[in-house]
Structure 1
Amino acid sequence: MSALAFANPFRRPAGALDLGPLTRGLVIVAGSVMTALCVLAIGRALLGYTPDLPHLQNLAIAIHVTTVIPCVPLGLYLLLARKGTPMHKQLGKLWIALMVITATATLWIHGLGNFSWIHIFVPLTYRAAWYTVAKARRGDIRGHRNEIIGLFLGALMIPGVFAFLLEGRLMNTMLFG
């Protein structure tokens, strides 16, 4: 295998703990695009190219955004990097903690008990976080990997897309003004 073939993440053969080529490609595209959108939105806001952001006066939104944004590139890294190392385990624990804090903060954005359809991702996040840790501790690495992929794509990327597409949402305001 040439050095260039190994560097291409779409063509690398999957190891026992690695993602298959299709899943790897989906993770790379989704994670990279979402990371770029987050950086662009934050950059626009920091440079003053957005209107006032009253969203950030809500502590729950501030906590939610502060914990969810690092989950995108960190999750991308964890899914693509070498698995099973001490670094992978420590960063994985951080990522799960950030995802749980993100989901919990969401419950208070409109006041506890005042939920919308997007709150379906909260129990899904709690469930996947629990099973991710439990399966890793049991040694069920394939199950652990599948839970992480579902959590990354399902509970992080899907709501992230809506955060950018739905008018009035903070990320939409930051990206499109």
Structure 2
Amino acid sequence: MIASKTRLQENTVHAAITPGLSPKGGFDLGPLNRAIIGAASVAMSAICLFALTRGIMGAAPDHYGWRNWSVMIHVATVIPAVPLGGYLLLTRKGTKLHKMLGKVWLGLMVVTAIAIVFIRGGTDFSWIHIFVPMTLLGSYKAISTARARDIQAHKKHIVGMYMGALMIPGIFSFMPGRFMWALLFG
């Protein structure tokens, strides 16, 4: 009896965190948010890939970012986080694959945030460094809410991190004078 009750509880938890199996309390983003996240993910991924290809092929001017390890670590971890995060937000939740890739994504985000602490733009810190504690705290909250099965809070933290700590700074990374600007437009 206890074994079947535990199995029933597991199925109930699985249904609660898997879209399509439970209409309320799930991770449904809604069609507008899905479209925004999908478009942002595809556009940012394509622009970053194009910029990096230009840089690797020698079509972009030399930039100090190529010689700065902090910049290289930051770029190497943030670029794959863009499409991976979009994929995770738009696909089925609660699966083993989702959990594994979610851990990879959070790892990329944490390394990205730590790497930016060592990137200097002529001063000790700039406004972009505000995203470091936001990302680290968001990562902790995303993990703790997922473990507590608080899916609505998990959704809030993940979507907030994806749009607020990844996409918004990503847009600003293409400002004139910055590394990605030089790769894309230089």
User: TM-score normalized by structure 2?
Assistant: 0.83
Matched to 2:86, the amino acid is L
Choose the corresponding residue for 1:115, options 125, 144, 148.
Answer: 125
Matched, 1:73 2:83: yes
Aligned counterparts of 1:132 and 1:54: Cα–Cα separation in 2: 34
Q: Which has the larger radius of gyration?
A: 2
Deviation track 1:46-77 (CA, whole Å, cap 9, x = no partner) reads: 22210113212111111100100000000010
Choose the corresponding residue for 1:143, options 142, 148, 153.
Answer: 153
Matched, 1:39 2:49: yes
Deviation track 1:6-62 (CA, whole Å, cap 9, x = no partner) reads: xxxxxx9x9522211121111011111101101110111122210113212111111
Question: Tell me, what secondary structure is at the counterpart of 2:48?
Answer: helix
Q: Unmatched 5+ residue regions in structure 1?
A: 1-11
Counterpart of 1:154 in structure 2 is 164
Deviation track 1:94-127 (CA, whole Å, cap 9, x = no partner) reads: 000110100000001119x811011111111011
Whether the 8 Å CA contact 1:18–1:83 is kept in 2: the answer is no
- RMSD of aligned C-alpha atoms? 1.7
Aligned counterparts of 2:118 and 2:32: Cα–Cα separation in 1: 37
Matched, 1:170 2:175: no
Residues 5-154 of structure 1: pairs in structure 2 closer than 5 A: 16-110=26-120, 114-154=124-164
Aligned counterparts of 2:64 and 2:160: Cα–Cα separation in 1: 32
Aligned counterparts of 1:152 and 1:18: Cα–Cα separation in 2: 16
Matched to 1:175, the amino acid is L
Matched to 1:171, the amino acid is M
Matched to 1:83, the amino acid is K
Q: CA deviation at 1:140?
A: 0.3
Whether the 8 Å CA contact 1:30–1:157 is kept in 2: the answer is yes
Matched to 1:51, the amino acid is P
